[in-house]
Amino acid sequence: MIREVSKEGLSEVIDRIAYIHLSSFNDRRSMKQMRESIMQYSEVPGFRCFVAETNGAVHGYLYGYQTERSQFYRQLIDHCIDEKQSEQLDGAFEILSLAVDKESRQSGIGTQLINALPKGKYYLTSDVHNVAANAYYYKTDWTLMKANLHLHPNIPDKHLYFKEIK
């Protein structure tokens, strides 16, 4: 079952979200740092979080927020794309993180999470070397807006994907 988690309900699932994130990505943060990061994101206007769960156990999640050109990561992206592409991202929801626990992968949970999103414009970035994620975005009709973004020396190169859900 997919459900949207309110900001107030985030504390009930944050440990599991942080664990799934840290076990899915090359992220060196501690559990405490990851929880704090998610809580900071939840303060951004337009934050939304969805979880996939069975009998109360979280197996996957998706969270993000409406971005604005003034936000740091969006500014990094805007330096690497043209004005038309930047305009396309205006008003879009950035999926900051989407992951499924290792035991539940290849079961359709990621697709269910994306299908739970309301109509609108969405974008996300994926590490260029994350073959499984990039294959998934290709297979599920995300548009590769820009490949091999070099956003910052401390950030691995990314692919930028865009999708409009109608």
C-alpha triplet 97, 101, 43: angle, nearest 5° = 30
Q: Does the pLDDT of residue 37 top 90, yes or no?
A: yes
Longest dimension (CA), the chain: 46
Interval 53-79: pLDDT, tens:
999 899 999 999 999 999 999 999 999
Q: Whole-angstrom Cα distance, residue 88 to residue 62? A: 22
* pLDDT confidence tier of residue 8, bands split at 50, 70 and 90: very high
Domain 2-165 has CATH 3.40.630.30: yes
State the average pLDDT for the chain.
Answer: 95
pLDDT, position 138:
94
Residue 106 has a pLDDT of 85
Q: Note the pLDDT of residue 23.
A: 94
pLDDT of 27 reads: 86
Degrees, nearest 5: CA angle 107-95-51: 45
Per cent of the chain over pLDDT 90 is 92
- The confidence band for 26, taking pLDDT boundaries of 50, 70 and 90, is confident
User: Whole-angstrom Cα distance, residue 118 to residue 96?
Assistant: 16
| 89, 43 Cβ separation under 8 angstroms | no
Q: Is the pLDDT of residue 15 over 90?
A: yes
Share of the chain above pLDDT 70, in %: 100
Mind listing the pLDDT tens digit for each residue in 86-131?
Answer: 999 999 999 999 999 989 898 999 999 999 999 999 999 999 999 9
Mean local confidence (pLDDT), 20-29: 91
